[in-house]
């Protein structure tokens, strides 16, 4: 994560107070420092500041899309306010709950896992049925592409342990063949991992999700893949329920392929430390081998 400079934090605080002078005495806490933005928190209010002009455009689009989506989606979503200008920022009330990580998921019982999967499946089903033309009018654009297969092959595969190189080459070969045609193109979340969940561990309930800066038009199967960051078991449960809700047959192999390709792309990109990125790839490849049930393709 990128740490904001003290001067930047002082500027962000001054920006908030210039619009909300009643917060002049507030003690802000740095909540998150991402590649695109910095988030500060005070008394349950989240303030999000883009790092550059491109991130500012993403923030404006996110606010517009969330305000469009909230009355149309069952899942609780943030209700942001945009303070526009030369240095735009947003404000929203935090959804109560904490992030849900892989180790947390392992502690959940069957009922809680199924309830979580049902909530996420309903979110995806509702998002994917939204008319693309209407979402374009609301401000949606295509999601960012991932690294090309050739770049992954050149920059990631040579860094893998010997026992994983063959698997990685198969992943790249499959990734190269993926296309987005017909009803594969949907408006989706494209960030449905545990860091963006507000999970209540007391009641084992998902209270809502947030961070729609990466939402947009893209592959249905890619959108269904992000819960693999928590567990492939959760993703498969989501898919089962998603199929019941949508009557759409999901190719589970393709969903897992997207996650495999993204893990390899992370290793190639160098955003994470080599040690962390390599551990992520190895852990994911091993998790796939240990799935309790075979993956079945769409009929």
- Structural domain spans, the chain: 6-93, 102-289
Give the integer Cα–Cα distance in Å for 80 and 272.
30
CATH 3.90.1200.10 fits 102-289, yes or no: yes
Domains 6-93 and 102-289 belong to one CATH topology: no
**% of the chain at pLDDT higher than 70:** 94
Provide the CATH number for the domain formed by 6-93 in this structure: 3.30.200.20
Q: What pLDDT, in 10s, does the model give residues 125-178?
A: 999 999 999 999 999 999 999 999 999 999 999 999 999 999 999 999 999 999
142: left (phi over 0), alpha (psi -120 to 50) or beta: beta
The whole-number average pLDDT for the span 112-130 is 98
231 to 6, 207, 220, 237, 238: CA distances (angstroms): 37, 19, 19, 10, 11
> By C-alpha distance, which of 143, 140, 103, 285 is closest to 223?
143
Q: What is the pTM of this model?
A: 0.93
Give the integer Cα–Cα distance in Å for 6 and 41.
16
Assess contact for 66 and 210: CB atoms under 8 A: no
Q: What pLDDT, in 10s, does the model give residues 53-100?
A: 999 999 999 999 999 999 999 999 999 999 999 999 999 999 999 999
Q: What pLDDT, in 10s, does the model give residues 2-15?
A: 555 666 888 999 99
> If DSSP codes are grouped into helix, strand and coil, which group holds residue 91?
strand
**What does the mean pLDDT of the chain come to?**
93
> If DSSP codes are grouped into helix, strand and coil, which group holds residue 211?
coil
Q: What pLDDT, in 10s, does the model give residues 209-235?
A: 999 999 999 999 999 999 999 999 999
């Amino acid at each position: 994560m990128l740490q904001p400079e003290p001067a930047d934090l002082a500027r962000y605080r001054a920006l908030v107070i210039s619009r909300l002078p009643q917060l002049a005495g507030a003690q802000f806490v740095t909540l998150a420092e991402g590649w695109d933005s910095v988030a500060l928190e005070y008394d349950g209010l989240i303030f999000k500041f883009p790092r550059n002009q491109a991130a500012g455009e993403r923030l404006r689009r996110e606010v517009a899309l969330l305000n469009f989506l909230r009355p149309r989606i069952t899942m609780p979503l943030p209700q942001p306010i945009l303070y526009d200008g030369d240095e735009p920022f947003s404000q929203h009330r935090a959804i109560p709950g904490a992030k849900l990580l892989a180790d947390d998921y392992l502690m959940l019982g069957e009922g809680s896992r199924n309830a979580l999967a049902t909530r996420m499946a309903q979110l995806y089903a509702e998002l994917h049925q939204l008319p693309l033309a209407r979402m374009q009018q609301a401000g949606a654009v295509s999601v960012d592409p991932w690294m090309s297969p050739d770049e992954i092959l050149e920059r990631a595969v040579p860094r893998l342990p010997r026992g994983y190189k063959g698997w990685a080459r198969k992943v790249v070969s499959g990734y190269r063949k993926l296309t987005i045609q017909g009803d594969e193109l949907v408006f989706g979340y494209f960030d449905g991992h545990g860091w963006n969940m507000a999970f209540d561990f007391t009641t084992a309930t998902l209270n809502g999700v947030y961070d729609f800066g990466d939402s947009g038009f893209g592959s249905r199967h890619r959108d269904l893949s992000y819960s693999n960051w928590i567990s492939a078991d959760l993703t498969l449960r989501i898919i089962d329920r998603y199929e019941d809700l949508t009557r759409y047959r999901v190719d589970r192999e393709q969903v897992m392929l997207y996650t495999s390709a993204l893990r390899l792309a992370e290793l190639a990109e160098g955003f994470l430390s080599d040690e962390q990125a390599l551990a992520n790839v190895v852990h994911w490849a091993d998790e796939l081998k240990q799935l309790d049930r075979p993956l079945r393709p769409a009929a």
